[in-house]
Structure 1
């Protein structure tokens, strides 16, 4: 294995409070009924436009709502009460993989570039990734475009890469790109759904993920 591509929300960071509060603000701003939390969480991983089309309906002012989210999200991220929180061990795992000479790291997320970059800088993760794929430069998951671009930028074959994610959209994207999909059970979709989507393994904690990935790496160059 030469490339590990991570999802962001639900895999590396817990974004539940941010999602709930941003929905409350934006749906209220447009006078729309607030969607149930479980409905919102079930769609994490899709592009914001796709999520809103399902939650608010196709007749909702989707473009204006997207603009509202783009305005609201940085404000909420600046508030510790609502900002994403890295899952325990996520930073340590990324640092250990980054320091291993035999592997490169990537991200594939439904965030757009200008919202993801500040978060990566905040956590000190910005330099870890050789390829970062976001919803503004590739088609939305589960289309394989993000992963195909990541493979090209990292100069790695699909057989030598894995995708780590928490939703069926991540795993379906991996399968469509010919990449092995590793799922985590602490995110937004249940393990049974992840297995059905094609995950070759579902891990239950960051230590298990670390052990699996490290065991799959080619030896570091001396």
Structure 2
């Protein structure tokens, strides 16, 4: 409902500012999303994670996280030429379905076997390095398939969370969580093209 309302609003804004429906769709998708990391941190600080409204908020956040997957596939394809748009969308969705299906079906057993092998070495550093290797490796794989890096990292998180080592992973990465979250927002801010802010200040 929020996405539909945002799409209508973005389309109206697009009519005023000469924005195509592709840009309006991308804008509406971004508008309908909220940051799971920030909201969970706020709920945890207030001690409201286990409350009724906290559980409902978590349900919405998880649904949004799942909705990110088709958006990560859809948005890059929207930049294609008009005559190639439908084939690009179809090809991107087909690649995503095959790759995600293959990773989620076959990757779970492989992930369990590999993490068990690493855990037997009883080295925290080795375990952490392997988590980093898995995440970056899957991100590179999806980028190689013409999809986004973020989609691969998302799938890596899903696969790791399905193993019995998820609690150990959560404990190991907790010290880095806030640092990496801040680094993420800093790098996103550094991607901002300030020339566009000056040229289109009224639209911004």
Same fold (TM over 0.5): no
Find the structure with the greater CA-based Rg.
2
More strand as a share of residues: 1
Structure scoring higher RCO (CA < 8 A, sep ≥ 6) equals 1
TM-score w.r.t. the length of structure 2 is: 0.26
TM-score w.r.t. the length of structure 1 is: 0.24
More helix as a share of residues: 2
